């Protein structure tokens, strides 16, 4: 490759400390699970669950070790000194309570979340189009704390829809260029994002561009010579550069800009000369010939990049706006990779070329997170004059640094890169929430870096900017600096001054001991059962008391509905204490699936090392044994156990894309969206054939909200080779809408085609289950029953739920109840089964089942809605509101908010109705029932004001 004039740009100095060492903390903040259900204002039946592997609307978490934890209790009185555990399995002894404290969440956190949502909706409703992007971005920062990937994705897509500048993260797909479009939507197209014009209504239109030729050389390799001839006839003006003479047309050159017109036709001496000396005007002979050609043709296609760069400089110097714009656009289209971008961005910044800089930045963004480890990129983004240089060309935005800093924090909270990006973020912050976020996140990072004085400073600044949650950061920083009582007093004041929330009590528990600490932790769990720290602490204390079985039962409570690496690590730790090496190995394999780089024992030992140690203590399985084990765990709805088996199979066969795909299905069922997407990308990258790759790309598109593009991938795959997975993907994507009879028939046909193709029992059972669901929707109950029975015959246990639904629709409630009981008995995860069984029994038994469902999984919203509806039927309005409020506090769900708004409306409380409706509409602005309820309440308030 010839570097020629561009090689000078490679001598940029490195940014000190940009490549921070990766540090893995024990405390993680995994995505919480979310479940939705049908909207109703009376006591409704629980929602039907299709239980598709890729269905995001319900979760099916595994309650692992529930069967053997009782037997472990009998061993809990054994003294640790009697254990025969080798030192290398427990090199750091027991878990230490002080080292499992929860992190300060690096998000915007409101003390009144519902009111904040309502206020955001009002601002969006009445804002002009140009302001919407910023409000949606603010909304997304609030949604990050909800751990709901769908809400966050919808908010970010809305922000992009209304944004003038589009930024997108690299998709980590091997073989795909960071500038590839793929023929999707305009909003996803890197080329379309650089075009002038702004139409938020057309961003989801199909993109007209086509993928460039992958064999085309980089612009650095382009050596074509520009045309040396001027025209068919001689010009009337010559520019002299050294010994060369370039003939031009005076009026054409004058037409390039007002300064050139003034020079050539004004009162200057050049207007009277036929030859003008241009030797010292920083342009080469080839460059000036290109100026002449452009003056006549207005085209740049025949010129190599070096000449276009000269034209860009010439256009800047002589104010040739048309030429400069053409050069800017042309050069921006040449940026194909990170090397090109690093060279060209320097020219773009120097020449104020907006599109060129945008194109280079776009490559940096789409190459994330890898580009964060490139010192040249970091110098451009974080150097001493970086913000000033980017700002001059219109690209030093809060949005840019918000995105970069978010990625950096996910990569390594403690790195210098993260600190520098957050500092730039703070410099770009203008609105109140932006300053709060930047300052608060700087506090979080400094706390992780153990720079407690600086952490306190930033948290105090964030609090002064209006972020009340940062008070917790101040307290934590003071505690780390030795002021425990001050921290306790400050947190107590927070609880006293505001409506108490679970995280407030969790925080105060860090600053007290004994019974008082346990009381605060219990209060935290009661107010917010999704907080993992109280379960972890109680479990560690039980271990210290030699009650290991009870400790495992305690940690099982949170793992049962919210799977995270830190909780799996603790359970593995406890299992090693009991010499249950199989149980420990299972949990470590599962946590490594969630986080392949996880460091155990408070960040001291890599999880993979522990796998190797534990393998020596358990029976070894062949790949055939693993398949049998996977069938057993899959059929018992043991998702964590299934993950562990797949992890072992991948260790033996890391390039097997089918196993990566199975892994993604399990992770989605556990609501581990980020890990699931990573597995899907790896499945795609390891595909052994084109038709297989297309299927996995289709699932990636579907899971990121691109249904039509997913269908196109499925159809392309089928055109190459008919396969189970391609037909299944197409049927699944089509079924993700309200189906009419014709569409349902087509989905049935596709699933039948899938079943005719080779596959294994795990997927055949899933297809039969889905087919049964479509038959039920079409009121073909006998055919549905046949599908479910056939699925059960190949051990697809979840089909019990579909069969129960068939019995219920046939008015055979006892048979339906018995069928769900079978599922409860077989499945490790049975919260959803208890919830569903409640539909098939009397009120008292239904209450019992729903109480069990809430106990096993407090994130399931239907039980709260059912209980609240029953209370309203019994005219216990205050208790009904309290039941919903309890859940809304830790899970502000659309259905819960809508139902509470309906209750307030029936009680005549229009202002509360409007607030809850607005909060619900912030989550889903198109929810028809809520829109209708909101209008009715608003009309009532308006009528009341007019009457007064």
What is the pLDDT, as a whole number, of residue 704?
Answer: 87
The SS3 assignment for 606 reads strand
Residue 885: both structure tokens together: 């409020």
Q: In this predicted structure, which of 220-229, 599-608, 909-918 has the lowest mean pLDDT?
A: 220-229
In whole angstroms, what is the distance from residue 921 CA to residue 191 CA? 34
What is the pLDDT, as a whole number, of residue 706?
Answer: 87
Q: In this predicted structure, which of 677-681, 690-694, 891-895, 940-944 has the lowest mean pLDDT?
A: 940-944
Q: In this predicted structure, which of 66-75, 136-145, 508-517 has the lowest mean pLDDT?
A: 66-75
What is the pLDDT, as a whole number, of residue 262?
Answer: 92
Q: CB–CB of 934/921 below 8 Å?
A: yes
Q: CB–CB of 429/435 below 8 Å?
A: yes
Q: Is the pLDDT of residue 69 over 70?
A: no
Give Cα 103 distance to the centre of its chain: 20
In whole angstroms, what is the distance from residue 800 CA to residue 837 CA? 11
Average pLDDT over residues 481-503: 96
What residues have CB less than 8 Å from 155, skipping those under 6 apart? 136, 139, 140, 143
Query: What does the DSSP assignment read for 59-102?
Result: -----TTTTTHHHHHTTTTS-GGG----TTTSTT-S--GGG-PP
Give Cα 324 distance to the centre of its chain: 39
| pLDDT confidence tier of residue 67, bands split at 50, 70 and 90 | very low
In whole angstroms, what is the distance from residue 91 CA to residue 68 CA? 26
Angle separating helix axes 484-497 and 470-480, nearest 10 degrees? 160
Q: Burial level of 466, CB count in 10 A (0-12/13-18/19+)?
A: exposed
What residues have CB less than 8 Å from 690, skipping those under 6 apart? 717, 720
What is the pLDDT, as a whole number, of residue 896?
Answer: 98
Q: Is the pLDDT of residue 75 over 80?
A: no
Rg (CA), the chain: 32
What is the pLDDT, as a whole number, of residue 21?
Answer: 32
Query: What does the DSSP assignment read for 784-815?
Result: HHHHHHHHHHTT-TTHHHHHHHHHHHTT-HHH
Q: Is the pLDDT of residue 223 over 50?
A: no
pTM of the full predicted structure? 0.83
**In this structure, is the dihedral angle defined by the CA atoms of residues 360, 363, 367 and 369, taken in order, positive or negative?**
positive
In whole angstroms, what is the distance from residue 902 CA to residue 898 CA? 6
The SS3 assignment for 173 reads coil
Reply yes or no: is the peptide bond before residue 369 cis, omega within 30 of 0: yes
User: Domains in the chain, start-ordered, CATH in brackets?
Assistant: 235-334 (3.30.710.10), 863-947 (1.25.40.10)
| pLDDT confidence tier of residue 945, bands split at 50, 70 and 90 | confident
| pLDDT confidence tier of residue 206, bands split at 50, 70 and 90 | low
pLDDT tens for 312-361 read 999 999 999 999 999 999 999 999 899 999 999 999 999 999 999 999 99
Q: Is the pLDDT of residue 79 over 70?
A: no
Query: Could you identify the residue written with the tokens 């019994």?
Result: 874
What is the pLDDT, as a whole number, of residue 281?
Answer: 87
Angle separating helix axes 657-669 and 639-652, nearest 10 degrees? 160
> Cα–Cα distances in Å, from 720 out to 40, 682, 688?
46, 22, 14
Residue 776: both structure tokens together: 């039920």
Q: CB–CB of 456/472 below 8 Å?
A: no
Give Cα 511 distance to the centre of its chain: 33
What is the pLDDT, as a whole number, of residue 204?
Answer: 53
Q: Is the pLDDT of residue 510 over 90?
A: yes
Q: CB–CB of 256/318 below 8 Å?
A: yes
Q: Is the pLDDT of residue 634 over 50?
A: yes
The SS3 assignment for 599 reads strand
Q: CB–CB of 527/501 below 8 Å?
A: yes
What is the pLDDT, as a whole number, of residue 533?
Answer: 98
What is the pLDDT, as a whole number, of residue 175?
Answer: 54
pLDDT tens for 247-278 read 999 999 999 999 999 999 988 888 889 999 99
| pLDDT confidence tier of residue 788, bands split at 50, 70 and 90 | very high
**Strand 275-277 relative to strand 237-241: parallel, antiparallel, unpaired?**
parallel
What is the pLDDT, as a whole number, of residue 174?
Answer: 59
Q: CB–CB of 142/170 below 8 Å?
A: no
Share of the chain above pLDDT 90, in %: 73
Mean pLDDT (the chain, rounded): 86
What is the pLDDT, as a whole number, of residue 207?
Answer: 59
Q: In this predicted structure, which of 739-743, 774-778, 879-883 has the lowest mean pLDDT?
A: 739-743
Beta bridge mates, 474 = none
Reply yes or no: is the peptide bond before residue 751 cis, omega within 30 of 0: no
Instruction: With CA atoms as reference, report the closest residue to 798 among 771, 776, 765, 831.
Output: 765
**Strand 275-277 relative to strand 244-248: parallel, antiparallel, unpaired?**
unpaired
pLDDT tens for 1-25 read 433 334 333 333 323 333 333 332 3
What is the pLDDT, as a whole number, of residue 514?
Answer: 93
What is the pLDDT, as a whole number, of residue 205?
Answer: 59
Q: Which helix (DSSP H) or strand (DSSP E) does residue 820 occupy?
A: helix 813-826
pLDDT tens for 576-592 read 999 999 999 999 999 99
């Amino acid at each position: 490759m010839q570097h020629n004039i561009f090689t000078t740009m490679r001598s940029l100095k490195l940014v000190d400390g940009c490549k921070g060492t990766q540090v893995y903390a024990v405390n993680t903040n995994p995505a919480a699970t979310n479940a939705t259900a049908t909207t109703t204002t009376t006591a409704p039946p629980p929602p039907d669950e299709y239980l598709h592997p890729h269905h995001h609307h319900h979760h099916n978490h595994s309650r692992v070790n529930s069967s053997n934890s009782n037997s472990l209790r009998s061993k809990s009185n054994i003294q640790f000194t009697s254990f025969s555990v080798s030192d290398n399995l427990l090199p750091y002894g027991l878990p230490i309570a002080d080292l499992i404290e929860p992190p300060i969440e690096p998000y915007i956190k409101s003390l009144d979340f519902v009111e904040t949502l309502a206020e955001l909706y009002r601002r969006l409703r009445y804002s002009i189009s140009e302001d919407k992007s910023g409000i949606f971005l603010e909304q997304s920062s609030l949604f990050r704390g909800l751990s709901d990937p769908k809400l966050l994705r919808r908010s970010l897509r809305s922000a992009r829809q209304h944004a003038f500048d589009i930024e997108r993260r690299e998709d980590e797909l091997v073989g795909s260029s960071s500038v590839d479009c793929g023929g999707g939507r305009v909003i996803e197209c890197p080329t379309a994002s650089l075009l002038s014009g702004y139409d938020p209504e057309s961003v989801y239109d199909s993109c007209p561009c086509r993928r460039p030729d992958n064999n085309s050389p980089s612009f650095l390799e382009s050596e074509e010579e520009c045309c040396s001839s001027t025209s068919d006839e001689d010009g009337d003006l010559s520019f002299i550069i050294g010994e060369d003479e370039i003939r031009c047309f005076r009026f054409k050159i004058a037409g390039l800009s007002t300064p050139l017109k003034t020079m050539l036709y004004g009162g200057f001496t050049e207007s009277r000369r036929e030859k003008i000396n241009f030797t010292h005007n920083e342009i080469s002979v080839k460059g000036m010939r290109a100026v002449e050609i452009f003056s006549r043709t207005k085209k740049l296609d025949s010129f190599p990049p070096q000449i276009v760069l000269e034209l860009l400089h010439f256009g800047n110097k002589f104010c040739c706006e048309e030429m400069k714009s053409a050069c800017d656009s042309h050069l921006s289209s040449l940026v194909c990779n990170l090397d090109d971008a690093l060279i060209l961005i320097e020219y773009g910044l120097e020449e104020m070329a907006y599109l060129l800089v945008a194109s280079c930045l776009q490559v940096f963004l789409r190459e994330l997170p890898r580009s964060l480890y490139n010192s040249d990129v970091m110098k451009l983004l974080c150097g001493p004059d970086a913000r000033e240089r980017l700002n001059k060309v219109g690209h030093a935005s809060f949005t840019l640094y918000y995105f970069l800093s978010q990625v950096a924090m996910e990569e390594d909270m403690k790195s210098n890169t993260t600190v520098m990006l957050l500092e730039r973020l703070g410099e770009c912050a203008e609105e109140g929430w932006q300053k709060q976020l930047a300052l608060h996140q700087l506090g979080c990072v400094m706390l992780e870096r153990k720079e407690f004085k600086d952490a306190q400073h930033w948290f105090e600044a964030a609090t002064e900017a209006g972020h009340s949650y940062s008070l917790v950061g101040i307290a934590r920083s003071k505690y780390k600096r030795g002021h425990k009582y001050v921290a306790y007093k400050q947190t107590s004041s927070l609880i006293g001054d505001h409506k108490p929330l679970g995280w407030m009590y969790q925080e105060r528990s860090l600053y007290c001991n004994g019974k008082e600490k346990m009381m605060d932790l219990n209060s935290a769990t009661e107010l917010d059962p999704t907080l993992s720290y109280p379960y972890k602490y109680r479990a560690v204390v039980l271990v210290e008391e030699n009650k290991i079985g009870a400790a495992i039962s305690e940690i099982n409570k949170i793992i049962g509905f919210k799977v995270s690496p830190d909780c799996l690590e603790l359970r593995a730790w406890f299992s090693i204490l009991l010499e249950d090496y199989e149980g420990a190995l299972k949990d470590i394999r599962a946590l490594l699936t969630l986080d392949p780089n996880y460091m155990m024992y408070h960040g001291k030992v890599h999880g993979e090392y522990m796998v190797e140690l534990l393998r020596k203590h358990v029976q070894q399985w062949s790949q055939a044994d693993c398949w049998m084990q996977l069938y057993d765990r899959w059929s018992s709805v043991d998702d964590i156990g299934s993950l562990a088996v797949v992890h072992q199979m991948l260790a033996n066969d890391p390039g097997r894309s089918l196993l990566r795909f199975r892994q993604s299905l399990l992770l989605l069922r556990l609501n581990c969206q980020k890990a699931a997407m990573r597995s899907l990308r790896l499945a795609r990258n390891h595909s052994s054939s084109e038709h297989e790759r297309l299927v996995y790309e289709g699932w990636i598109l579907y899971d990121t909200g691109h249904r039509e593009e997913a269908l196109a991938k499925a159809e392309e795959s089928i055109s190459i080779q008919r396969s189970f997975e391609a037909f299944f993907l197409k049927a699944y994507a089509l079924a993700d809408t309200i189906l009419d009879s014709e569409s349902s028939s087509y989905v049935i046909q596709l699933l039948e085609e899938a079943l005719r193709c080779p596959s294994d029992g795990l997927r055949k059972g899933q297809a039969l289950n889905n087919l049964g669901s479509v038959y039920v929707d079409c009121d073909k109950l006998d055919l549905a029953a046949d599908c479910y029975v056939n699925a059960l015959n190949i051990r697809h246990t979840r089909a019990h739920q579909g069969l129960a639904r068939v019995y219920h629709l046939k008015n055979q409630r006892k048979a339906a109840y018995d069928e769900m009981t079978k599922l409860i008995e077989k499945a490790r995860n049975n919260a959803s089964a208890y919830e569903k069984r409640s539909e098939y029994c009397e009120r008292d038994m239904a209450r019992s089942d729903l109480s069990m469902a809430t106990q096993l999984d407090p994130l399931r919203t239907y039980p709260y809605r059912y209980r609240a509806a029953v209370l309203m039927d019994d005219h216990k309005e205050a208790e009904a509101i309290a039941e919903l409020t309890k859940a809304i506090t830790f899970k502000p769900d659309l259905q819960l908010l809508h139902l509470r708004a309906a209750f307030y409306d029936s009680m005549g409380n229009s202002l509360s109705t409007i607030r809850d409706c607005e909060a619900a509409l912030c989550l889903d602005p198109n929810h028809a029932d809520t829109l209708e309820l909101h209008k009715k309440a608003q009309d009532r308030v308006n009528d009341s004001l007019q009457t007064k």
